[in-house]
Structures are given as C-alpha cells and as structure tokens.
C-alpha cells in the first residue's frame, strides 16, 4: 500500500481546505436558532417542555416504533434498556468486543458481567452464526432461562451494536435469542437512518437505544433515546427516567427508585430541527460514501467498507480496511493523513483488552482482532457530500 496514494484519493473526495477536516461535524442549517430561541424566550429550557414531547413523537414516527423516550445521552438509554429488560446483578450480557465502551459500561452499571462475542466480516457487527455455535458449547437452559455452564451465571440478554451505522444480521440473531431465551437489546446509537431488510434498526429488539452526541448523524448536543414497541415498557421507561415522580399538582411523590435521565427541552428543540433535516443529511452521507468507494477502488492494499447486501446504512462513519499484508502501515497512514489536515482514526480498542474488562468471559475473537489492526475511519460529515436533491 502506498499511503500517499490513499491520501491523494481522500483529497480528491474531500477537496482542498485550509481548515482541518474533522471526523464528523454537525450541520446546523434549519430551524435550530428559531427553536432554541423559543426555549430561551419562553423560559422552557429544562427537563419539561413541548419540544421534548415533539421530539419523542418525531423519533417514533421516523423509526416506526410505538414509543420513543428521550434521555440525556445514549449511555443512559442503554442502561435503562438493560434494567427494563430484567438484567440483574450477577447476570452475563453478550455484546461485541468491537464496540464503543458505553455498551460495556452500561452493562456494568447494572452489576452485570459483559461477555464478549466476535464480529462478522460482512457487517462489522456481532456474528450471530458464530454466537450460535459458541452457545451450543457453553450454554444450557434451566426453567426457560439461559445459563453459562462454565461460570454458573445466568445469561440474560444480547446487545448487538450496529457498527458505524451498518446493521447487524438480525434475523439469525433473533433465532439465537429465541432458542436460548435471551432478550435482544439493540445498541442503535450509531444507526439512526439505517435499515435492515427494509425496516429501521431499533425495531427488532425488545428495547433499543439511540445516541445524539455531537458527532452523530443528528445531534441534540448530548442526548439519547429509548425505543420500544411495548407500550407498557415505554411508559415505564418514561416514568423511571423522570425520577419516578407520580403526577400531582404540588406533592413530591416517587414510587420507585428512579433516574434523573431527562433530556432538557432546549436540547430537544435542537433535535427537532435536526430531525427535520435528516433525509438531506442521509442523502449527502451516501453520496460521500459512494465518492470514497469510487476513489479508493484504484488504490492497492485498501478496501472501502460498503453496506451489507440486506441493509441500507446511514454510513455514520466511513470505514477503510487495510489488507492483511498492509496492517503494519496503519499508523503510518494515520500519521500522514492527520498531518495533512484530514482527521482519520483507528477503531476503538477492543473491550476485552481494556483493564476493567480484561477478566470478563469471552469467545475466540479473531475477526474483531483483525478489524482492530486494519480499520481506519474517514471524515464523514454530511457537509462533505453534495446534495443532489
């Protein structure tokens, strides 16, 4: 691989700029100023207000779920999903080792144990086929619950993460969940606007979590959401994330241990304006991904990762994979691109390599370990892609 050829290809897509090109920047080109000013003018800036309700309704309509509950960030959304799914202290929860640390952290907040699973070459996400073979070796059913024969702990749930916006192969994963009585919780933090077999991500799990951090497809500054098709769970999620306060004109009555995970109205106002522009953001991001794919096709030693066949990805972060023979040049390429004003980043350190998760149970993880050596993320802001309407 010639690193200068890769740099040339990237510059051909991004164009010349005097400004450092970040990995993913938000675009504010709609009603953001008006909606935020409305919050300031009316004084409704905190945890109650019309924009929170509007944002939740817009999210539910866009993703196709029955209920969306806005919360302060994606990690809080994941934590609440796990609690609502019945994850208890001492349980094990299956998740990919190739994920952002928030997935494993949220499991730890419950007092549960992350159990790391390998990735699939065609999706970058959790491999359902490899998981099925692994559970055949280590799992057993007792009274309609799954237990790890080696540790004795209950395996309660599986949390696939749609890596960089590319949907996991969900149908075979659902089969595994049904066979082993596992609750499916989708970590859809990165996949707003992504579809699996024509249906938006977040609809397969009992519960799902979104993120609206500043680097996501749309942003509320900080923020997240819980998605579910279970109306009762949705109502409970809203109750628990708003300190479990029982409605009353003046009394402070709380009937459960609740969480102050509420999304402020001023953040929700930003989210409403962003959601109005989401179709345009997605068009431009797909154009950018196509431009990268075409520009890099002629460069030896690299492969642009394209969406899986059964999916439509939001291409949240565009991803370059180095050939096995070129992986030792990863850091050289990172150095050259960043020095040239183009931000590139390696993927996350695998979860089982972090000190706090080093002793957690795990399967053989060769695919994820290969990805870690070979993967580089490219600038992916919607503003970098031309909008053709």
- Whether residue 168 is found in the same domain as residue 206: yes
Region 40-62: what's the mean pLDDT?
Answer: 94
- Whether residue 67 is found in the same domain as residue 185: yes
- The verdict on residue 50 lying in a domain is yes
- The verdict on residue 262 lying in a domain is yes
- Whether residue 266 is found in the same domain as residue 285: no
- Whether residue 15 is found in the same domain as residue 54: no
- The verdict on residue 208 lying in a domain is yes
Counted domains in the chain: 2
- For the cut 60, the answer to whether the pLDDT of residue 387 exceeds it is no
Give CB contacts under 8 A, 24+ apart, made by 43-48.
Answer: 44/265, 45/264, 45/265, 45/266, 46/264, 46/265, 46/266, 47/242, 47/262, 47/263, 47/264, 47/265, 48/265
For residue 138, what pLDDT band results from cuts at 50, 70 and 90? very high
What values do phi and psi take at 377, rounded to 5? Answer: -95, 145
Strands (E), the chain: 67-71, 92-96, 113-117, 139-142, 145-148, 154-158, 183-187, 195-196, 199-200, 207-211, 224-228, 245-246, 253-254, 302-304, 311-312, 318-322, 345-346, 375-378
- Whether residue 40 is found in the same domain as residue 164: yes
Name the residue among 285, 262, 317, 306 with its Cα closest to residue 27. 285
- The verdict on residue 91 lying in a domain is yes
- Whether residue 155 is found in the same domain as residue 61: yes
- Whether residue 15 is found in the same domain as residue 131: no
Q: Could you tell me the pTM of the whole model?
A: 0.96
- The verdict on residue 282 lying in a domain is yes
- Whether residue 11 is found in the same domain as residue 94: no
For residue 386, what pLDDT band results from cuts at 50, 70 and 90? confident
Per the CB < 8 A criterion, the answer to whether 179 and 139 are in contact is no
- The verdict on residue 49 lying in a domain is yes
Last residue of a domain, one of 233, 249, 276: 276
- Whether residue 225 is found in the same domain as residue 79: yes
For residue 48, what pLDDT band results from cuts at 50, 70 and 90? confident
Q: Look-up: residue for tokens 């959790």?
A: 126
For residue 148, what pLDDT band results from cuts at 50, 70 and 90? very high
- The verdict on residue 389 lying in a domain is no
- Whether residue 97 is found in the same domain as residue 173: yes
- Whether residue 282 is found in the same domain as residue 161: no
The radius of gyration of the chain's CA atoms, rounded to the nearest angstrom, is 21
- Whether residue 131 is found in the same domain as residue 113: yes
The whole-angstrom separation of Cα 152 and Cα 44 is 50
Q: State the CATH number of the domain containing residue 75.
A: 3.40.640.10
Q: State the CATH number of the domain containing residue 304.
A: 3.90.1150.10
Q: Look-up: residue for tokens 């249906």?
A: 199
Look up the domain containing 320 and give its range.
3-28+278-384
- The verdict on residue 246 lying in a domain is yes
For residue 198, what pLDDT band results from cuts at 50, 70 and 90? very high
Last residue of a domain, one of 210, 243, 276: 276
Question: Could you report the per-residue pLDDT of 2-15, keeping only the tens digit for each?
Answer: 999 999 999 999 98
The whole-angstrom separation of Cα 193 and Cα 200 is 7
Give CB contacts under 8 A, 24+ apart, made by 256-259.
Answer: 259/76, 259/79, 259/80
Last residue of a domain, one of 276, 301, 322: 276
């Amino acid at each position: 691989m010639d690193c200068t050829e890769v740099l040339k290809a990237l510059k051909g897509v991004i164009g010349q700029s005097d400004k450092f090109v970040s990995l993913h920047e938000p675009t504010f080109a709609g009603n953001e100023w008006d909606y935020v000013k409305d919050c300031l003018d009316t004084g409704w800036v905190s945890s109650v207000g019309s924009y929170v309700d509007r944002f939740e309704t817009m999210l539910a309509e866009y993703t196709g779920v029955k209920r969306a509950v806005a919360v302060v960030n994606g990690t809080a959304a994941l934590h609440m999903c796990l609690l609502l799914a019945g994850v208890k202290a001492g349980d094990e929860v299956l998740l990919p080792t190739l994920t952002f640390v928030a997935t494993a952290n949220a499991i730890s907040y419950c007092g549960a144990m992350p159990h790391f699973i390998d990735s699939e070459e065609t999706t970058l996400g959790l491999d359902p086929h490899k998981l099925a073979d692994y559970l055949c070796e280590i799992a057993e059913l007792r009274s309609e619950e799954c237990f790890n024969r080696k540790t004795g702990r209950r395996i309660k749930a599986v949390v696939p993460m749609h890596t960089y916006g590319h949907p996991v192969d969900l149908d075979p994963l659902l089969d595994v969940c049904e066979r082993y009585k596992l609750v499916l919780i989708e970590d859809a933090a990165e996949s707003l606007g992504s579809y699996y077999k024509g249906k938006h991500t977040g609809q397969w799990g009992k519960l799902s979590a979104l993120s609206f951090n500043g680097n996501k497809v749309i942003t509320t500054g900080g923020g997240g959401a819980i998605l579910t098709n279970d109306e009762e769970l949705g109502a409970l999620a809203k109750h628990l994330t708003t300190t479990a306060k029982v409605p009353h004109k003046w009394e402070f009555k709380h009937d459960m241990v609740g969480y102050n995970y509420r999304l402020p109205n001023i953040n929700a106002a930003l989210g409403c304006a962003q959601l109005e522009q989401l179709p345009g953001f997605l068009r431009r991001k797909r154009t950018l991904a196509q431009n990268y794919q075409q520009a890099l096709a002629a460069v030896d030693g690299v492969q642009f990762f394209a969406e899986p066949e059964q999916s439509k990805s939001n291409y949240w972060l565009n991803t370059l994979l180095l050939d096995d023979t070129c992986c030792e040049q990863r850091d050289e390429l990172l150095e050259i691109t960043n020095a040239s004003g183009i931000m590139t980043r390696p993927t996350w350190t695998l979860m089982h390599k972090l000190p706090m998760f080093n002793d957690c149970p795990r399967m053989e993880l060769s695919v994820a370990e290969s990805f870690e050596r070979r993967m580089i993320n490219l600038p992916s802001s919607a503003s970098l892609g031309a909008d053709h309407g």
